[in-house]
Amino acid sequence: MYTTLKLATTKDIATITLDRAEKRNAISTAMIEELLAALDAVEKSSARVVVITGSGNAFCSGMDLELLSAIAQQSPEQNLADSRRMAGMFRRIWSFPRILIAAVNGPAIAGGTGIATMCDFTLAVPEAKFGYTEVKIGFLPAIVSVFLTRQIGEKQARDLLLTGRIFDAAEAKSLGLVNDVVPADQLVATTQRLAESLLAASPTSLARTKKLLVATAAAQVDADLERAIAENAGIRATADFREGLASFLEKRKPVWRGEE
């Protein structure tokens, strides 16, 4: 049924494994659609806790290179639809009614950082790396900024978004993006224990608590997302985006023009 991920359910715990190991589990259009479909399937099932992890040595390396290449050929309308699709995925993860645990088994970069940190709980191995690297290729971290600023505050978010720097799991924990750093050989067991502790709580209480948390912020998040979607699509028409994308794909240093 799925080509970019695996979905398995054991009793009350569902596990979604991003499964493009040869691409370091990079985000493709198909993966976005399948992740949304998997979450829909989980919501209709008896599973009360969902674990998201990656296959191989990476959690998710961000947007797929082939998808990046296609973006350069898209119309403004296609770019807007693409931005809305990405925003919809992050919005769905952020507001998902069941408990989500990210078990970050390796690098989670750009959109991968977004998937990992929008879950209710994020556990990461010490070797995991994070980063919102969009500015380094002339892109815009517009959609993730909506959630990141709420999570860690504006000053810290400015640091990460404006520098585009890579940071490790320990710093991610100190910023509040990761709940705990766990040795790789203990990640599965620690995730299981966390899931079981959550299952011991009242299902009604957990569901209503999540609903309350989302409802409190939803109106502002949705308004901010609309602005972010427009900005995400708009920057794709700039010279710097075209140069950043070309230099990234050609593995060379960009020559910025600074034109809108």
Which of the residues are catalytic? 134
Nearest to 131 by CA among 102, 108, 100: 108
CA 80, chain centre distance (Å):
19
Q: b/e map of 28-42 (b: 16 or more CB within 10 Å)?
A: beebbebbeebbebb
SS3 labels along 95-149:
HCCCEEEEEECCCEECHHHHHHHCCCEEEECCCCEEECCHHHHCCCCHHHHHHHH
Cα dist. 66→2, 23, 146, 196 in Å?
Answer: 19, 10, 26, 39
- Rg of the chain over all Cα atoms, to the nearest angstrom: 18
Number of residues that make up the chain: 260
Structure tokens at 239: 């010279």
Give the whole-angstrom CA distance, residue 127 versus residue 185: 12
Backbone φ, ψ for residue 246 (5° rounding): -60, -45
